[in-house]
Structure 1
Amino acid sequence: MNDAAVKSGTREIAVEEVLPHSPETIWKALTTGDLITRWLGMPTTGFEAVQGKRFTFQTTPAGKWDGLIRCEVLEVVPNERLVYSWQSGHADNVGYGSPLDTVVTWVLARVENGTRLGLVHSGFVLPNNDTAFRNMSAGWKKVVPGIGALVTDEVSSKKLN
């Protein structure tokens, strides 16, 4: 785990949603590269649900930051928990594109009507990460329910079961 995610004085984003699909089906959406690209809205390169695997997301560059989000899978418990680091930004940027060293944790729990999907994105150091924290707080609140919508579409078209 990275240092920023465990320091006191950091903030986290937490989102939880009950989705009408099994944990196994939601897990496929969280761990399949092309589906991650679709629900996150950023190209994903090199993702595998294997501890130690490094991968990237690509977003809009800002200042000296190239727009790459560099990640490493930290923990994998199939159909239950996925944790990865999320590092981006550049030291010369202020606001959007400033250095970010955080951790994303997905937790899946079977419930009567499907799966409770929880996301915690932790380690935002304020005030340096104010812009990222604000933008990503709003973004994750759309992304998590969007995973459910994507899975529903994939299941109904028989691409995902």
Structure 2
Amino acid sequence: MSDILQKSDTQEIVVDEIFPHAPEKLWKTLASGELMGRWLMVPTGFEPVKGTQFTFQTTPAGAWDGRIRCEVLEAIPNECLVFAWKGGDEGNSGYGSKLDTMVSLTLSPAEGGTRLRLVHSGFVTPRNDSAFASMSNGWKGVIRNVGTIAGEPE
């Protein structure tokens, strides 16, 4: 069988919003561990510096301890934050199945403000269908939270 036929299909989540804020306001919200704890989950060890490894803790399932292991792959102030997002366990199916994905948050100028585009890619079908379904809805709320926090007075 060829390598192409052996590869699994993957899916990605895309959320694209325009906020009436300067890129600097959105970046501050994205790149602060304290603020990240308000719009996503409280990170342990996060710094917006390439190579930084950090974690999130969520509900464990089966053989998975609930830890999401991340690494900053790219951090360009006022432009983008990209990090690996890995969790789950090979022995789990559904919630808590092995997950090896990437989250990309990109800021760009837009009429009336700044566009924030999130792409969470690498969901393997069918293994990650459960995570893909729940996170598809979850990221929409997360991105709205980023906009709300960025709009708060300093």
Tell me if both proteins adopt one fold, taking TM over 0.5 as the criterion: yes
Q: 1:1-161 to 2 correspondence within 5 Å?
A: 9-40=9-40, 42-153=41-152, 156=153, 158=154
Unaligned 5+ segments in structure 2 are 1-6
> Offset of 1:80 from its aligned partner?
0.6
> Offset of 1:150 from its aligned partner?
1.6
Q: Which moved more, 1:143-152 or 1:91-100?
A: 143-152
Q: Counterpart of 2:93 in 1: which secondary structure?
A: coil
Q: Which aligned runs of 4 or more in structure 1 are off by greater than 2 angstroms?
A: none
Structure 2 CA distance for aligned equivalents of residues 73 and 8 of structure 1: 25
Residues 120-160 of structure 1: per-residue CA shift (max 9 Å, x gap): 0000001000000000001001111111112223xx2x2xx
> Offset of 1:112 from its aligned partner?
3.0
> Offset of 1:8 from its aligned partner?
6.7
RMSD, aligned CA: 1.2
Q: Which moved more, 1:137-146 or 1:119-128?
A: 137-146
Q: Which amino acid aligns with 1:28?
A: K
Unaligned 5+ segments in structure 1 are 1-6
Q: Which amino acid aligns with 1:141?
A: K
TM-score (norm 2): 0.92
